[in-house]
Amino acid sequence: MTLTRGGPARARGGTPAHRFYSVVVFVLLASLDNVAIGLVPPLYGPISDAFDVPRRLLGLVTAVSFLASAVAAVGWAYVGDRANRKPLLMVGTLIWALGTGGSALAANYPAFLAAQILAAVGLGAVGSVGFSVVTDLISPRRRGLVMSFWGLSQGVGTLAGTLVGGLLGAADWRRPFLLLTVVGLAATVAYLFTYDIRRGQSEPELADALATGAEYDYRISRADLPRILGRRTNRWLILQGLTAQAAFGSLVWLPVLFAERAEDQGYSAATAVVVGSVFATLFQLGGVLSIVGGLVGDALQRRTPRGRALVAAVGILAALPFYLVLFFVPVRIDVPDGAGTGAVVRAVLASVVTEPTVGLSLLTAVVALALTSANSPNWFALIADVNPPEHRGTVYSLGNLVNGVGRAAGNGLVGVAFHGLRAVFPPPLNYAVGLAAFQLFFIPTGVMYWLASRTSPDDIAAVRDLLHDRAERL
């Protein structure tokens, strides 16, 4: 394929207002699909009671959903790297909205599992195809910063899912799913008004050619797959997800840990669900500092092509001791048992100031999340740096597939670990020990990022040379 000339309207690519609207829609949708992911864990107790199944089977739902989404994303991304991406995003959003609605209407466990898998298939499109679109909006100098917002929107979505699930679902677990279905349908309509972002439009090597009305017409083919895996940095970026997500996947049980602590201190199950959701949400606020990780990655990358990978390696390894402290610091919970949701939330927020153990736990969690959040924007940016535009969605999806396997393993196996540890450590200590053990997976993750820092300079240079050669063919 070659760079070909498109019409003037195509070259303009929309007004600034239209571009801004499109970016907002893409970022919000990245957030919403993670709301769907975070919705179930806080409701393990109520849903398991409603369907009369053990809680570990609800953990299995989350694990299977992670895996289904990751597998589906590979297909979505490959098609997206070959075709018009906007219709794919609309169809994917509609599918996950229908699956979420089906979850709310499920009458039994098998129906709930099937609906969650359907939602997961749609979620695969939003992440993989959306990533390909967003990278075409960002210049290499600012990739870390902007991708931190992309990653942050996903983290905020997971937090919102945890919070919405715990607060709206404490009395009726079906309500959060119904609300999210309506929001998902509205998001599908919002996609109609976004414009088609041009492939490769952010690359400096293509800027002059695209400014004259040329069109970057290269598309992925099956013959490209060996080349993708032949890039050494891609291999490390993909493989690190297996261990990183085993650790991250276990963290979806954080609301359960704090809910169990509340029950252990004598609170009712309904109050404990709210307490667990609010504590878990507060303790993950450090993810907001991924913006700092993105900025540091951009700055160091301008000094050395190893920069982004080194920032991710240091952040991952330095966070480990803070996670271990977080799980074992005793937290004294003082909330009005049986009170309304608002009263419980206010009491938890006040305890950050009035109860030293809560304040210490919050500080530890913020530091831990801030350090590990450097991983996300720099991972996104590195995928864009070491791959040409027509490969990025597929590479992201392959990484996401391995992420899904790791996250499913972490989420599923940690539930088994909790059950096995119960014989030695009574709740909630079994949850603390199990979570701490799974954070050790961050050690090989940091090592793989260090290895990526050694291979990324050559791969980045090769992509720049390739794009420069293609632009010159005009």
* CB neighbour burial string for 260-273, b if at least 16 within 10 angstroms, e if fewer: bbbbebebeebbbb
Establish if 219 belongs to a structural domain. yes
Q: Which two tokens stand for residue 301?
A: 């990358």
pTM equals: 0.78
pLDDT at 11: 37
| Residue of 123, 138, 238, 232 lying closest to 187 (CA atoms) | 123
Establish if 80 belongs to a structural domain. yes
Residue 172 and residue 411: Cα distance in Å, rounded? 24
- CA 129 to the chain's CA centroid: 14
Establish if 338 belongs to a structural domain. yes
Q: Would you give per-residue pLDDT tens digits along the chain (474 residues)? A: 444 434 333 434 467 777 778 777 877 777 777 788 778 888 888 898 889 888 888 888 887 887 888 888 889 988 888 877 888 888 888 898 999 999 999 999 999 999 999 999 998 888 788 888 888 877 787 788 878 877 777 777 777 787 787 778 877 889 999 998 998 888 888 888 887 777 888 888 887 887 787 788 888 888 888 999 899 999 999 999 999 988 988 887 888 888 888 888 888 888 888 888 888 877 777 777 888 899 999 999 999 999 999 999 999 999 999 988 888 887 888 888 877 788 888 888 888 888 888 888 888 888 998 899 889 899 999 999 999 998 998 998 899 889 878 877 887 788 888 889 998 998 888 999 999 999 999 999 999 999 999 999 999 999 999 988 888 876
Establish if 357 belongs to a structural domain. yes
pLDDT at 474: 60
Establish if 241 belongs to a structural domain. yes
Q: Confirm if 329 and 340 have CB atoms less than 8 A apart.
A: no
> CB neighbours (10 Å) of residue 317?
18
| Residue of 45, 73, 75, 71 lying closest to 58 (CA atoms) | 45
Residue 214 and residue 107: Cα distance in Å, rounded? 54
Which of the 8 DSSP states describes residue 338? T
Establish if 182 belongs to a structural domain. yes
Establish if 7 belongs to a structural domain. no
Residue 14 and residue 320: Cα distance in Å, rounded? 45
Q: Confirm if 112 and 103 have CB atoms less than 8 A apart.
A: yes
Q: Where are the alpha helices (DSSP H) in 304-428?
A: 307-328, 341-354, 356-372, 375-385, 392-421
> CB neighbours (10 Å) of residue 209?
21
The number of CA neighbours under 13 Å toward the Cβ of 29 is 36
Establish if 5 belongs to a structural domain. no
Q: Which two tokens stand for residue 242?
A: 């297996």
Beta bridge partners of 5: 214
3-class SS of residue 252: helix
Taking CA atoms, 249 is separated from 160, 272, 397, in Å, by 17, 22, 17
Which of the 8 DSSP states describes residue 473? T
- Domain range spanning residue 220? 14-472
Q: Confirm if 249 and 410 have CB atoms less than 8 A apart.
A: yes
Which of the 8 DSSP states describes residue 171? T
The number of CA neighbours under 13 Å toward the Cβ of 162 is 25
Residue 78 and residue 222: Cα distance in Å, rounded? 9
> CB neighbours (10 Å) of residue 192?
9
Number of domains in the chain: 1
Taking CA atoms, 42 is separated from 162, 280, 342, 451, in Å, by 6, 9, 17, 37
Residue 330 and residue 167: Cα distance in Å, rounded? 24
Residue located via tokens 């590479």:
395
CATH of the domain at 377: 1.20.1250.20
